[in-house]
Amino acid sequence: MLSAMNLRARAGLGAAASAVTAALVLAAPASAAVAAPAPAAALPGASVRALPPYSTWIADVTAVADQASAYLGDVLPTGSFRPAIVLDIDNTALQTTYRPGLTSPATGPILEIARRAAADGAAVFFVTARPEILGWQTEINLDLVGYPVERVYLRPWFDTQPDAELKTGARKAIEAQGYRIVANIGNSASDLSGGHADRVFKLPDYDGQLI
């Protein structure tokens, strides 16, 4: 049988443990609040230009898309060569920055161009610097929002060349398959430099804020 002293000792330990547990529970919110990181201070002299609102961006995209659509209406359909168009993905084919998520919605005016070009006999290629590991997710996203897709060119594993060289190489590979790229549409200089397209159409990037 336990002595009265032992019983009192065990009761005292139990009470102490309960008190400690209660103290920890009560202290947890306060500790979490203390641990929350403070906002980073702006560097001296640094300025961050805010992106324009969505309505401005989509209006700017539409203005360029209208020019591309009119041009493609003049050159397609054609029976003299195998036509193709090339589209960048982020902030061109998809609204990556303005509508972020695991999947992004299509950029409406660009989707219309792709569908019309495909209906007029052009192959629709996508050239992006997204890494190969995102290939499955990217292709599903494009398919879900309704893009016709001939092929998606991504950055291969262990490839470290600059974006412009990567994308120029992809367009060369498309031409090597017998296609003539009648239009290349993107929102950054790396999407469009390097040639290998009859016409290029640049969407807004607002001084590099949209990549």
Return the pLDDT at 48. 56
SS3 20: helix
Kindly state whether residue 160 falls inside one of the protein's structural domains: yes
Cβ atoms within 10 Å of 170's Cβ, excluding its own: 23
| Domain range enclosing 16 | 1-31
Residue with tokens 């609040």: 33
Q: Are residues 27 and 59 in the same domain?
A: no
Q: Are residues 69 and 147 in the same domain?
A: yes
pLDDT of 16 strictly over 80: no
The total number of structural domains in the chain stands at: 2
Q: Are residues 84 and 167 in the same domain?
A: yes
Kindly state whether residue 2 falls inside one of the protein's structural domains: yes
Q: How many residues does the chain have?
A: 211
DSSP of 110-177 = HHHHHHHHHHTT-EEEEEEEEEGGGHHHHHHHHHHTT---SEEEEEPTT--S-HHHHHHHHHHHHHHT
Among the listed residues 75, 80, 108, the one whose alpha carbon sits nearest the alpha carbon of residue 93: 108
The region of weakest confidence among 47-51, 127-131, 147-151, 183-187 is: 47-51
Return the pLDDT at 9. 35
Q: What is the pLDDT of residues 90-144, one digit of tens each?
A: 999 999 999 999 999 999 999 999 999 999 999 999 999 999 999 999 999 999 9
Residue 83, token pair as written in the block:
């036509």
Please tell me the distance from the alpha carbon of residue 211 to that of residue 201, in angstroms, as a whole number.
15
pLDDT of 2 strictly over 60: no
Please tell me the distance from the alpha carbon of residue 20 to that of residue 16, in angstroms, as a whole number.
6
Q: Are residues 12 and 106 in the same domain?
A: no
Query: Is the distance from CB of 126 to CB of 152 less than 8 angstroms?
Result: yes
- For 57-90, give one letter per residue: b (16+ CB within 10 A) or e: bbeebbebbeebbebbeebbeeeeeebbbbbbbb
Residue 208, token pair as written in the block:
């590099």
Stated pTM of the model: 0.77
Output the domain CATH number for residue 174.
Answer: 3.40.50.1000
Kindly state whether residue 41 falls inside one of the protein's structural domains: no
| Residues 6+ away with beta carbon under 8 Å from 160 | none
Residue 41, token pair as written in the block:
């201070």
pLDDT of 62 strictly over 80: yes
